[in-house]
Amino acid sequence: MDSDGPEAYLGQDAVVDFGRPEIGDLAGDLRSHHTDDVDFARAAFEHVRDNIRHSWDVQDTRVSISASDTLAHGTGLCFAKAHLLAAILRSQGIPTGFCYQRLTDDGATFMLHGLVAVFLNGNWHRQDPRGNKPGVDAQFSLGEERLAWPVRPELGERDYHRVSTPPPARESSKPSKPRTTFSTSAAADSPAISDSTLLCWWRGRRTHAVAVSFRSSTPHRGGVRR
């Protein structure tokens, strides 16, 4: 995987805001029961996977972006759950970055799915805390990947092999302007910035997503739709 040095994946910002006491408390509680880094990473993964509900699965209209908002709401899309898992792990010194997949249900409409990569035992390992359901069985693994959505190249799906340091983001003090996020490309090594998928507003120093724009209401495998 294409990445920077592991030390670049330990910082916090408005999205991965592990300086918030509620995230520190959760991370500290998990760490108190799991002193080994691998055991702790597995426990954190399972906590986010199982205790934070995926918005699509429960039809929750709230849109969480930052790690602290995701924890407070108890729900989020794949991106939000990745932000929370990264915050928990980074707060305890485990380098964690963000990875993306280009997914489809029909081979024509593509959406972006977000997950994390953790640096353990000298290597990066992708983990998908999206949340399990019938047909989805993501597990923590440092060997063979156990992701929610193995890609199907014959349908145009692909993995982006870059490990991102923060999620692509831009902060603005103007609430009236939408913040653009991702579009997917069949050729690029990382997702591109576009205004066609997830729209949200940034208010002051904290992020509050208040609107999501979808191209259709058809349920898809990708992160924004499922």
Identify residue 156 by its one-letter amino acid code: G
In this model, does residue 216 exceed pLDDT 70?
no
224 part of a folded domain: no
What pLDDT does 1 receive? Answer: 86
Q: Is residue 48 part of a domain?
A: yes
DSSP 20: S
Burial class (CB in 10 A: 0-12, 13-18, 19+), 122: exposed
Owner of token pair 């986010």: 48
Q: Tokens 């407070």 map to which residue?
A: 72
pLDDT over threshold 60, residue 134: yes
Cβ atoms of 131 and 52 closer than 8 Å: yes
Q: Is residue 215 part of a domain?
A: no
pTM over 0.85: no
H-helix segments, the chain: 21-33, 37-51, 55-58, 67-73, 78-91
pLDDT above 70 covers a percentage of the chain that reads 73
Report if residue 122 sits inside a domain: yes
Q: Which pLDDT band, with edges at 50, 70 and 90, does 221 fall under?
A: low
Strand partners, 126: 117
Give the mean model confidence (pLDDT) for residues 55-84.
94
CATH label of the domain that carries residue 94: 3.10.620
In a domain, 117, yes or no: yes
Q: How many separate domains does the chain show?
A: 1
Average pLDDT over residues 173-202: 40
Question: What is the pLDDT of the chain when averaged over all its residues?
Answer: 80
Q: For residue 38, is it within any domain?
A: yes
Residue 226 forms part of a structural domain: no
Domain that holds residue 25: 6-208
Stretch 152-171: mean pLDDT, rounded? 83
Domain membership flag for residue 219? no
Would you say residue 127 has pLDDT above 50?
yes
